[in-house]
A and B are shown apart, each in its own frame.
Chain A
Amino acid sequence: MKILIIEDELELSKDIIGYLNAQDYLCELAADYNQAIDKISAYTYDCILLDLMIPFGNGLEVLERLKAEKRSDGVIIISAKGALDDKIKGLQLGADDYLAKPFHLSELSARIYSVIRRKQFDNSNTITHDELTVDILSKTVTVGSNIVSLTKKEFDLLLLFLGNKNKVISKNALAEHLSGDIADMFDNHDFVYAHVKNLKKKLTEAGCDNYLKTIYGTGYKWEL
């Protein structure tokens, strides 16, 4: 899977690349508008992470160009602007998702995972992971032949874990994934613990191996 990161803040892109490389993604970097145009003219990508404020141009222009060429690369806008207008404009121009800075790497990884799935497996969008099968469209989870009934939040958490295999995800990141911007308003995210516990219990009861590990003091990890 090839990913292009269009981002001028080097420290940030370095960490994103490091995190995604470990997820078996192949990452390339464009640090300004010209590099971005060069890259998208030469190659196609499974997913493009697009910062709107880049040197020598505007991220939205890159998006317009992709659209004009009828490209099918998935695009996720990562912007510090966070302005609603930009979000709407970006999505109208054909971006697949919008993530406001600052964000958790786990959230980014999960979004990339979902965008690529959506682009490539239009109709039968299922994830199979040993005995575990997740149908993203119908939101059903089966372990072998057992159907596991999960709440919406438990299902969302499962997708986040599957998009961040072998990564430690902090409680804060989990809370943000579940409640979005609102999670920012609180310091106490203990409710996450209850949801993870329920998810773990339901999966193991259905006969699934215990992949979900608690990392003391920091968060959780889907370990293979």
Chain B
Amino acid sequence: MSKLLDKPFRSFTIYALVILVCSVPVYYFVVDAIWMEELDEHNWIIRKRMEKGIQTAKVDEKQLNQTLKIWNKLQPGTKLVAIDEKNITQNRIYTTRTYNPFEHEIDRFRVLSTAIWVNEKPYQLTISTNVEEADETLIAIAFVTVFFFFLLVIGFVFLNKRISKKSWKPFYKTLDQLKNFDLSKDQHIQFEQSDIEEFEELNQELTTLIKKNATTFNQQKRFIENASHELQTPLSVLKTKMDVLLQNNTLSEQEASTIEAINSSLSRISRINKNLLLLAKIENHQFAEEMPVNIKQTLAENIELLDDYFQSKGIHVQMNVEHYSVKCNPTLLEVLFNNLATNVIRHGNKNDILRINLTGNKLTFSNTGAASLSADNLFIRFGISSSETTNSGLGLAISKEICDRYNWTLSYQFNDHLHAFSIEF
């Protein structure tokens, strides 16, 4: 892809080249024509001057012929020869080429052949003047043209840069602002005022568009938060009702197992709701408080909390973690570790090993698995629809959201039958 300003620049350059190349023969013909005209005029002046000079000198014929002999020998440009009256021709103007023995080249001459009368006798006068060679003229013009072409190109480059710097500045600034804009970050965007109509219009349209989108986005966020808030109360009632129902002494085995089943579905709803609420809160920039957190310690506490669940699935945790500290919200870091660890408990194989390694700034959770997970929608909300009742479909979306917030990279890889989730702090 080429830059916007390079396009007219290239066309202008090519156009200038074509025009200048075409101008070379035109210049040549014009210069040559002027040249010829001037030389013809020059020849006529010489003729007149000579005619007048000879006539006023009043030399007799004999003397004149003697002088002419010497004259014709010494003066190469003109030749005056006595002729018969019947040989008088019309004035002739023509171009001729003669060998120049001094410079070993053929020179071009403009010739005027005419008759003048001296002492009432006709003389043939031939005046020839050296004309610049055609190729020499052409080369000179071409050289000058090339020189000016380069001057033009340099001018174009310079002007292009100046125009791009000045006129396009607001455009590039807008572009930069858009590049750094993130709808989810609740940023305000203020475009610079421009005196160019199109840019000003563009900025105004963009501002309107962004405002509209931000409003929609915020409404959506608020909707999720409100919806999950509203759900909390009926969920609480349901949960309490189940506890009350459980106190019934006359429950049959079948009724008890029905209650158990309802309870586990209820747990799932609660879980999804809680996670939605958490996600909305992270998006709404709650958990703003930050402090340096020791990763090793947080991890150890987390694993201990989950100890019962690891043990009941026979999963052994192998920690190989160096001391490392990050600045973040401690609750969010706990949530992040929790999500990654609980995933292993929920989806991992029985009697497996969970390896947690921290080298440099990269923390990796890995456990064995049969096949790679689909990485495309792994971190998207409800991206993996699963019939498994334990799945809320939000854990990894929350993890991603947390990592994004602190500009950490969360990635998934499947190598050598190992699922590996890595965070680069």
Contacts and interface: CB of A to CB of B under 8 A. Distances in A.
Interface of A: 9, 11-12, 15-16, 18-19, 22, 80-85, 101-106, 153, 167-168, 170, 172-173, 178-182, 184-188, 190-191, 194-195, 215-219
Contact of A19 (B243, B331, B390): B243
A102 B256 contact: no
Nearest to A108: B240
A11 to B, nearest CB: 5
B215 interface: no
Contacts of B392: 185
Contacts of B108: none
Given A187-B390, A216-B256, A218-B260, A102 B236 contact: yes
A186 B235 contact: no
A103 B239 contact: yes
B346 A186 contact: yes
B232 interface: yes
A104 B243 contact: yes
A185 B233 contact: no
Contacts, number: 124
16 contacts: A12-B237, A15-B243, A19-B247, A80-B233, A84-B286, A102-B236, A102-B240, A103-B236, A167-B247, A170-B242, A179-B309, A182-B305, A182-B342, A187-B267, A188-B309, A217-B260
B306 interface: yes
Interface stretch (B32-40, B92-100, B153-161, B270-278): B270-278
A11 B338 CA distance: 34
5 smallest CB-CB distances across A and B, nearest first, come from A80-B232, A217-B256, A102-B236, A191-B308, A101-B236
Interface string B372-401: 000000000000000001101000000000
A196 B342 CA distance: 23
A109 to B, nearest CB: 10
B287 A84 contact: yes
Contact of B263 (A9, A172, A191): A172
A105 B253 contact: no
Nearest to B306: A182
A41 B281 CA distance: 36
B275 to A, nearest CB: 9
Given A12-B237, A15-B240, 4 more contacts: A80-B236, A81-B229, A180-B305, A218-B260
Given A168-B247, A191-B311, A82 B236 contact: no
Contacts of B238: 102
Interface string B326-347: 0000010000001000100110
B374 to A, nearest CB: 22
A172 B287 CA distance: 29
B233 A217 contact: no
Interface of B: 229, 232-233, 235-244, 246-247, 251, 253, 256-257, 259-260, 263-264, 267-268, 270-271, 274, 277, 281, 286-287, 305-306, 308-309, 311-312, 331, 338, 342, 345-346, 389-390, 392
A23 to B, nearest CB: 11
Nearest to A175: B308
A102 B308 contact: no
Contact of A83 (B241, B268, B286): B286
A167 B229 CA distance: 30
Given A9-B237, A101-B232, A217-B257, A184 B308 contact: no
Contact of A84 (B246, B270, B312, B331): B331
A11 B251 CA distance: 22
Contacts of B287: 84
A88 to B, nearest CB: 10
B337 to A, nearest CB: 11
Contacts of A185: 271, 338, 342, 346, 390, 392
Nearest to A18: B244
Contact of B259 (A22, A81, A218): A218
A173 to B, nearest CB: 7
Given A106-B243, A187-B267, A216-B256, A179 B308 contact: yes
Contacts of B242: 170
B256 A173 contact: no
Contacts of B267: 172, 184, 187
Given A80-B229, A168-B247, A172-B263, A104 B390 contact: no
A188 B312 contact: yes
Contacts of B306: 179, 182
Nearest to A153: B308
Contacts of A180: 305
A215 to B, nearest CB: 8
Contacts of A15: 237, 240-241, 243-244
Given A217-B253, A218-B259, A191 B243 contact: no
A133 B263 CA distance: 34
A207 to B, nearest CB: 28
